[in-house]
């Protein structure tokens, strides 16, 4: 009898050991969040001109370190640029530009903006038809971290059109710039893939001094984007 009892106990212990977790415990759900799609060194601003001027990139809020993409909600995609630091005001108005080129499925897009964009909003030299559309000249929008969303290839010599102005959040404490873009504006849907495209500076993302436009001859920082973000499909 004792042998049978010991055998029964061994069987029960073996079965319990084969279970994925504690008896009665619900399986853990995999948490979803922003996907890091790019990283960059925190001391290479201006290396395209002179590596000794790198510290100035921190004062300007142009030292790129990381890029991520996630969902703010089911209808909004967050593009997040992380800097080594941002000025206490959140950024340098007008003269520090941030740029991110990407594609969603087969469509090319570009996000280009700054802490404020009054000059570009009044008359953007990159918009030729018409030159200064009133829709992009709203002072309230241009004072609050505006990013011009342009559709099409925006490389030098090619044509792309502004389709929206997206107001970003500049967080000085976290040293991040979060750009919430409506999925519908990107013509995206659950399952759509967001992939990198080259910018005029080479890598997908750059931060550079600017007045209306940025020059590739000026000191800047670039960050390669190598990851792909897939828009979640949600629950069935």
Going residue by residue through the chain (236 aa), what tens digit of pLDDT does each one get? Answer: 444 443 343 433 343 344 444 444 444 444 468 999 999 999 999 999 999 999 999 999 999 999 999 999 999 999 999 999 999 988 989 889 999 999 999 899 999 999 998 877 777 666 555 555 545 557 778 889 999 999 998 886 677 888 888 999 999 999 999 999 999 999 999 999 999 999 999 999 999 998 777 888 889 999 999 999 999 987 54
- For the chain, domains (ranges, CATH) are 32-226 (2.60.40)
Q: Contact, 139 vs 122, CB < 8 A?
A: no
Reduce the DSSP state of residue 139 to 3 states and report it.
helix
Report yes or no on whether pTM surpasses 0.85: no
What's the Rg (C-alpha) of the chain?
A: 24
Q: Which residue has the tokens 């799609």?
A: 37
Residue 66, class by beta-carbon neighbours within 10 Å (0-12 exposed, 13-18 middle, 19+ buried)?
buried
């Amino acid at each position: 009898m004792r042998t049978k009892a010991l055998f029964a106990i061994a069987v029960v212990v073996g079965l319990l050991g084969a279970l994925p977790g504690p008896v009665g415990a619900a399986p853990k759900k995999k948490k979803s969040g922003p996907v890091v799609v790019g990283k960059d060194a925190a001391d290479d601003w201006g290396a395209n001109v002179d590596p000794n001027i790198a510290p100035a990139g921190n004062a300007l809020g142009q030292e790129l370190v990381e890029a991520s993409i996630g969902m703010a909600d089911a209808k909004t995609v967050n593009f997040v640029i992380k800097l080594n630091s941002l000025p206490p005001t959140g950024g340098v108005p007008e003269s520090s530009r941030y740029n991110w080129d990407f594609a969603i499925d087969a469509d090319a897009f570009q996000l280009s903006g700054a802490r404020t964009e009054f000059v570009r909003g009044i008359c953007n030299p990159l918009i030729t038809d018409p030159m200064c559309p009133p829709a992009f000249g709203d002072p309230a929008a241009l004072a609050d971290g505006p990013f011009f969303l342009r559709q099409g290839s925006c490389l030098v010599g090619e044509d792309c059109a502004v389709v929206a102005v997206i107001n970003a959040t500049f967080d000085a404490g976290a040293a991040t710039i979060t750009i919430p873009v409506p999925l519908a504006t990107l013509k995206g849907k659950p399952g759509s893939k967001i992939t990198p495209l080259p910018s005029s500076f080479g890598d997908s993302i750059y931060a550079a001094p600017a007045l209306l436009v940025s020059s590739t001859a000026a000191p800047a920082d670039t960050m390669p984007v190598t990851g792909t973000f897939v828009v979640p499909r949600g629950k069935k």
